[in-house]
Amino acid sequence: MYIYDTFDHTVTRERVAEFSQQVKRRLAGELSEDQFRPLRLMNGLYLQLHAYMLRVAIPYGTLSSVQVHKLADIARKYDRDYGHFTTRQNIQYNWIKLDQVPDLLAELASVEMHANQTSGNCIRNVTADQFAGVAGDEVEDPRIVSEIIRQWSTFHPEFSFLPRKFKIAVTGAPKDRAAIQFHDIGIQIVRNSAGEVGYAVYVGGGMGRTPVVAPLIRAFLPKAEILSYLEAILRVYNRYGRRDNIYKARIKILVRDLGPAEFTRQVEAEWPEIRPSGVNLPAAEEARIEAFFAPPAYEKIAEPVASFVEAKAKDRAFARWVSTNVHPHKIPGYGAVTISLKPIGGIPGDASSAQMHAIADLADTFSLSEVRVTHVQNLVLPNVKQSELFAVWQRLGEIGFADANIGLVTDIIACPGLDYCALANARSIPVAQQLSKRFADLDRQHNIGPLQIKISGCINACGHHHAGHIGILGVDKAGQEFYQITLGGAGDETASIGQLIGPGFAGEDIVGAVDKVVATYIAIRSSTSETFIDAYRRVGAAPFKESLYGRR
Amino acid sequence: MAQAKLESKILTANRLRDGETVYYTAAGAWSPYVTEARVASTPDDIDGLSKSGAAAYAANIVVDVNVIAVVPGRDAKPAHIREVIRASGPTVRADLNKPVVRPQR
């Protein structure tokens, strides 16, 4: 993992001191709310329905066990004993008191964490594949370039007041586990025909009220050029992005209006102006950062691991959990465990302080003290020996996080929705809970197979509904919560935007409607190996429309 | 021309210091319990609430000040689900729900 140097520590501490003074002045009435709001947002502090909410950055979703313990301590000390892991690999605390924020931030800084740039019109927390460094299919560890981008974008003076917020995601593998094409910039680490490692660059993706799958603007960018190229993209956006209309201010609108070819031309014209400026990282500095992500000291383990094979044979529930929740590791004898934060009937992404402490302990005992956050609101223990997977599974069972449902119908993304969020039009979490209970039967879940349901409580789409195989969007219809269904979205390397299937459903009817969609899929699939999304892409919306609304 | 039906209103905000949802009372204070909210039913009364809210905002006591509709009745009950949830807490965490009536000692 990256470890802060003196500069990182200094800027983090100075920002805490600065914001602490701003909070003090606000509480003393020396700053008005209009003056204070942009300052608190720059520090990740929102005002939601019930209290202030603090969004803490988890760069590229990587945490040490020490940091997880600290996040748990903060949940207990400053919040109501829990936190919420988000689709941007951050954690949010829902019950924060303004006068306690300075102390909280100081505690975060003590473990090299902060809430900087988790809000505001700046470059937000960089997200990445949760299996970075351990996935067998990756070209290179995406944490290295993510960390380089983190350092470059932190308090970048030119890009602190962009037309709108700006999100960058990185995948190191052809299999996209970071939804890169739904980001302002998506970076895929690739190898060219000469065997050199570089980046494919996608620009102008996004969700919200105008969902767009980002077009590719450069198929291969040499590694050393990444910062100058990003700077060229941001400079074109900063100059021409719409500041007159908040709904048209994201880079996706600029790329769409100019057309990808013209946008690319402008970036490529800007790029040579920037390259000589020295923004590209010197090779020695890149090597210094890369060294932080050197593989840990893995043991040499021969496969098959007899005890692991035996445990799977003896215990069907364990074998099933392995099949969904353990991802192949690039090192023989290891596995990467996804901890499902989606217990049946639970709140997606929520974890109590006790659960967080337990997970940190598991990381120390079994996973080289590392934890990852996924954009699907789960956690990962990236380095577990196969011989210890059974013990990990049992301990996860003790804290209620051993559900064998990763990638299945109950592994639902849900935004906080109207239960917490000041922007929401409808509740998301209760819908997720009801769906989870409806599909609780594990035999049924495994029979249905891979199926992603994603729920947003408003058009801002924090719940990624546009990218859901089944997307659910909550709307306010004359003061009542209604839910629209979209079908056919995907956030992976086959990215697509879900299509609205028809009129929405009342809160009491939405679960039944989703059940009908799933039943229709079961009825039409060509075989049990044809997944929901494959079947939908083969047959289209018609049979699903008919089952929901009848023949028209 | 038919006159539009006038809804009863209350004044709500979030307390600056801790962000808690609060309601403006008949005594001119801010209470966390919605049933203690002063209900205004005439245009002048509602205008008075708005002015009280603006003054409290300017005095840095509260933020996000809004006049909201309530269901007609003796106790103030918000009309919209958003405000029902603000008054009583997230519907998905019964353990964190806030009473709408001040608990008896």
- Residues in Cβ contact with A91 at an 8 Å cutoff, skipping those fewer than 6 apart: A55, A56, A58, A71, A83, A84, A85, A373
Are A358 and A384 found together in one domain? yes
Q: What is the mean pLDDT of chain A?
A: 97
Q: Grade residue B104 by pLDDT with cuts at 50, 70 and 90.
A: confident
Residues of chain B with Cβ-Cβ distance to A47 below 8 Å are: 14, 19, 63-64
pLDDT, mean of residues A212-233:
98
- A80, A419, A422 member nearest B92 (Cβ): A419
CB contact B16 to A (< 8 Å): yes
Tell me, yes or no, whether A244 and A315 share the same domain: no
- pLDDT tens string A299-349: 999 999 999 999 999 999 999 999 999 999 999 999 999 999 999 999 999
Tens digits of residue pLDDT in A50-100: 999 999 999 999 999 999 999 999 999 999 999 999 999 999 999 999 999
Q: Say yes or no: A287 and A316 in one domain.
A: no
Q: Are residues A471 and A534 in the same domain?
A: yes
Same domain assignment for residues A436 and A489: yes
B44 at A interface, C-beta within 8 A: no
CA distance A40 to chain B (A): 13
Best of B7, B16, B77, B86 to mutate (most A CBs within 10 Å, chain A):
B16
Tell me which chain B residue has its CA closest to the CA of residue A347.
B92
The verdict on ipTM greater than 0.90 is yes
In this predicted structure, what is the pLDDT of residue A552?
65
Spell out which residues of chain B touch residue A420, defining contact as CB-CB under 8 Å.
90
pLDDT range class, residue A551, cuts 50, 70, 90: confident
- Nearest chain A Cα distance for residue B27, angstroms: 23
CA distance A134 to A61: 14
Residue B4, pLDDT above cutoff 60: no
One-letter identity of residue A488: G
Distances (CA, A) of A235 to A229, A359, B89: 10, 42, 43
Percent of chain A at pLDDT exceeding 70: 100
A431 touches chain B (CB under 8 A): no
Instruction: Output A514 or B75, whichever has higher pLDDT.
Output: A514
Residues of B with Cβ-Cβ distance to A424 under 8 angstroms: 82
If you average pLDDT over residues A192-204, what whole number do you get? 97
Q: Across residues A3-25, what is the average pLDDT? A: 97
Distance from the Cα of A78 to chain B's closest Cα (Å) equals: 11
Which residue on chain B is closest to A420 by alpha carbon? B90
Residue of chain A whose alpha carbon sits nearest to that of B59:
A29
CATH number of the domain encompassing residue A138: 3.30.413.10
Domain-embedded: residue A121: no
Q: Cβ separation of A420 and B14 shorter than 8 Å?
A: no
Mean pLDDT of A502-526: 98
| Residue A35 domain flag | yes
Option in A47, A418, A420 nearest B14 (CB): A47
Domain enclosing residue A382, as ranges: 306-398
Nearest to B80 by CA among B4, B1, B12: B12
Residues A269 and A156 in one domain: yes
Statement: residue B3 has pLDDT above 60: no
DSSP output for A248-283: G-SHHHHHHHH-HHHHHHHHHHHHHHHGGGT-SPPH
Q: In angstroms, what CA-CA distances link A111 with A23, A211, B100?
A: 22, 36, 39
Identity of residue A509: D
Q: Hey, where are the domains in chain B? A: 8-91
- Mutation target to probe the B interface, by most B beta carbons within 10 A, among A22, A23, A49 is A49
Question: Does B14 sit within 8 Å of A98, measured CB to CB?
Answer: no
Q: Report pLDDT for A131.
A: 98
Does A415 reach chain B within 8 Å, measured CB to CB?
no
CB contact under 8 A, B91 and A26: no
- pLDDT, tens only, A266-292: 999 999 999 998 899 999 999 999 999
Query: Would the CB atoms of A418 and B81 count as touching at under 8 Å?
Result: yes
Amino acid A333 reads: G
- With CA atoms as reference, the chain B residue closest to A78 would be B18
* Cβ contacts of B87 on chain A, cutoff 8 Å: none
Residue A291's Cβ-count burial label (10 Å; 0-12, 13-18, 19+) is exposed
Question: How many CB atoms are located within 10 Å of the residue A512 CB?
Answer: 13
Q: Is A52 touching B (CB cutoff 8 A)?
A: yes
Chain B residues inside the 8 Å CB shell of A98: 16-19
Do A18 and A147 lie in one domain? The reply is no
CB contact under 8 A, B19 and A51: yes
- Whole-angstrom distance, CA of residue A150 vs CA of residue A148: 5
User: What digits encode the pLDDT tens for the residues A446-461?
Assistant: 999 999 999 999 999 9
Q: Which site among B60, B86, B96 would you substitute to test the A interface, given the most A Cβ atoms closer than 10 Å to its Cβ?
A: B60
Q: Give the count of domains, chain A.
A: 4
Residue identified by tokens 């709140």 is A347
Q: What is the pLDDT of residue B7?
A: 86
Residues A34 and A174 in one domain: no
* CB atoms B19 and A98 under 8 Å: yes
Residue A399 pLDDT > 70: yes
Provide the whole-model pTM: 0.97
E strands present in A165-252: 168-171, 185-191, 197-203, 216-222
Query: Which residue in A33, A37, A92, A475 has the most chain B C-beta atoms within 10 A of its own C-beta, making it the best mutation to test that interface?
Result: A33
